[in-house]
Structure formats: structure tokens, C-alpha cells
């Protein structure tokens, strides 16, 4: 899907092709986050404190994942 020519398609139509897949991943992520927050609350941490901690770490993880993907692309195009 991602590799076919999409020159005449809008960003909206391209996003819609991926939206359900992305939504399912987000739902799975939210489930994991909730489980982590339950564990943290059982250790005495407030929900808001846990949420902020998790959000910060997820942001860091997303940045690392983007860098990894970018490095992988650079290696592929350098060949």
C-alpha cells in the first residue's frame, strides 16, 4: 500500500488508508499504558503523576524509533 504511486491523492485520502490500522495500534498502546498505570497506582503513585511520567517516556521512545528508522533509510539509500 505505501509503495504504490500516490501523486494525485490527498493527504486525507492517504491517511484514511492507514487510519484503522493506526487506530488499532493506538488502542493497544492505551491498553498497555492503563496496565502500567494500574501497577504504578498499586505502588502508591497518583494517576496524574504516572500519566506524565509515561507520556515523557513514550515521547522519548518515539524519538528513538524515528531516529532508528531514519538511520535505516539512510543505509538503504547509501547502497
Domain ranges in the chain are 46-79
Residue 59 CA neighbour count, 13 Å, CB half: 6
Let me know: does 59 contact 73? Beta carbons within 8 Å. no
For the question of whether the overall pTM of this predicted structure is more than 0.95, the answer is no
> 21-76, pLDDT tens digit by residue?
999 999 999 999 999 999 999 999 999 999 999 999 999 999 999 999 999 999 88
Q: How far apart are CA 30 and CA 47, in angstroms?
A: 14
Q: CA of 55: how far to CAs of 23, 25, 33, 61, in Å?
A: 18, 16, 9, 10
Query: What number of other Cβ atoms are within 10 A of residue 40's Cβ?
Result: 17
Amino acid at each position: 500500500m505505501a509503495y504504490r504511486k500516490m501523486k494525485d491523492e490527498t493527504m486525507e485520502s492517504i491517511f484514511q488508508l492507514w487510519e484503522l490500522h493506526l487506530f488499532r495500534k493506538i488502542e493497544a498502546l492505551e491498553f498497555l499504558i492503563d496496565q502500567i498505570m494500574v501497577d504504578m497506582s498499586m505502588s502508591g503513585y497518583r494517576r496524574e503523576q504516572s500519566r506524565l511520567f509515561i507520556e515523557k517516556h513514550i515521547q522519548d521512545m518515539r524519538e528513538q524509533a524515528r531516529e532508528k528508522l531514519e538511520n535505516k533509510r539512510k543505509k538503504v539509500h547509501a547502497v
